[in-house]
Structure formats: C-alpha cells, structure tokens
A and B are shown apart, each in its own frame.
Chain A
Amino acid sequence: MRLEHFQLVDRVEQYDRSAKAIKCRCEVPLESSIFDGHFPGHPLFPGTLMIEAIAQCCGLAVLALHDFRRMPVLIGVDKARVRAMIKPGAVLAVEGRLVQEGSGYVAAAGHLASEGRMAAEAEVRLGTLPFPTEALRAEARKFAQKVGLI
C-alpha cells in the first residue's frame, strides 16, 4: 500500500472476467503520517480508506473489463459499513463484484476482511470516462502490470 500515492492495492490475487469479480491484497503499512493524526498514540487505518480500498479494487476490475479504454472514478457510495478496526501492518483481503453496467458507469459491491473477519463493506458506483490522455492510460496499464492484473 502506497498511502502517500493513494494507491491502496498491492496485488490482484484473482480476476474473473466472466464473473466480473476481483480479489485483491492490500497491506497496511506499519508507519504512515496518516497515523500521526489517526490517532496520536493509537494508530488505526481510517474507515474511509477501507471504503476507498474496496473502490480501487473494483476500479481495477473495471479497467480490465473495459480493456483500458475507460478510466474509473468514484461517483457514489451506498450501504457503507465499517465493522472492525484495522491496525498498521494488517493484511486486507478485498473483494469486489460488478453488479450493474450502464452508459458511463458501473455499480459494484465489495467487502474487505482482515484475518478472516469482515471489516468493511460497501456498494460503490464508478463513472467510466475516456482517459483524458494516452500518458494516463499508459500509467494505468503500468500499475495494472505491477499489481498483477495483467
């Protein structure tokens, strides 16, 4: 997890194109400036970032599904629940499944677990926009290769 770059997914463990489902691994760093304030002397991985991890995991599935022709951006979150506290060093298993595709958007449902215990879940909607530049598309491909999506 490169928190300072807002890149939360470390590895795509599985991507099933026909099921439109993805499983990712996210490793919470032991140290980050985020923990300086959240919270002083009691570091916890923020719940908002758990939801973001679910969205990023689903976003990778969208990238693959659209063969890198479209760029996913978060436009909505429903039914978000944070069910456990996550500490630095935790390994998160994040899963997502695309449930509805429309003109310019994808809806997905996902959850995040740590040590087999459900820690967060959410339904997210991602806008699917044309990449504004070829350079950004290339960066997305590079990141997808790095995390094992392609």
Chain B
Amino acid sequence: MTARSAMAARSMMRGRSAMAARSMMRGRSAMAAGLLAAACVAWSALPLAGGGPGIVILAVASACALLSVLRLALGAAPAPAADFVNPAISGLRTLASLARSLPSAEVMVAAVLVLEALHRSRPWQTGLLGAAVLAYLFATHLAESGARASVLRPQVSLIAAGLGLLVLAVGAAMLPAGTGSPAVLLAVLAAMAAVVVGGLILPV
C-alpha cells in the first residue's frame, strides 16, 4: 500500500467515524426529544380535564409529538427523485414531506400548555412542565441541526436566569393571597412582556 493510498484510507476512516459520531449524536438528541415530548404530553394530560375539548387537545398534542419525532428521525435531506417510481415509496415520501412541513413542535408546545391550564394543578407541577418543555425545545433544535450540546454554552447564563424566574414565579404562585394582589401585578407584567415578544416576531 502506497503512502498516498494509506493516507486516503485513514482520511476515509476518519470521515466515516465522524459521520457515525454525528449520526449517533443526532440520534441521541432525537431520542431525548421524543422522550421529553411523551413526558410533557403525559404530565400535562393527567388528570384529564376539560371534557371533549380536552380530549381533542390531547389528541392534537399526541399527534404533533409523534410527527415531531418522525420529522427528527427522517432528517432534512430530501429523497432522490429516482425513488418515486414505487407508489408505496411515493406515499411514504409524501407523508415525510408533510411531517417536515407541519409546525408540529410549535403546535405540541401550545397544546401541552393549554392542557395544563385546563385542570387546576399545583404551581410546582406547572413549573416542572415548563422546564421539560424547554428541554424538549433544545433537544429538538440539537437533533435537527446536528450540533453538539456545547453550542448552547453562550446561552447557559440566560437559561439559568430564565429558570430562576420560573422558580420565582412558581414560588409567587404558591404564596397565599394576601393584601394586594401579586397575581394581578404579574398579569400586567406578563402582558407587557407579551408585547415585547410579539415585537420580536417582526422581521429581524
């Protein structure tokens, strides 16, 4: 074996190992996202309340959780056109493109929060659900971009601050209502923050 071919073989091995490591990392993130989605849906659904609308929202949340996991499993690469000769494969490809195009993760997050709001749960349970939803969003992002978890390092301080606010909010909710109404004040602050977030949707 010449030096050139040995070098090419080593380079190929490195490339394959890098590809395997990348796909393994993507698979782990997708698996974590799937588990977190299932946990969020189950946590927000129990005990099921709201009657018919509750069941509908639960069905929507479950379907969206499945679709989001399917989307992560399929990846973003479109299939080559030569595979479309078989009708069965063509149907599967259509389903896959549908799973890719639907905003399943967004709908699932909204449905889970609505389900949680439908029944009177304890504040710490809602706080735990919020942390799980946030973890699900980050796992989904890592799985679809194929990035390492270290890319989130610049955001660690902000995430920690946000979780701190979550704990404060949960603590405020657990305080017994006294003179004044902290919940009303919080609602006003929340409305202002909603305006801020709405402004962020504008083109950046």
- A-B complex is real: no
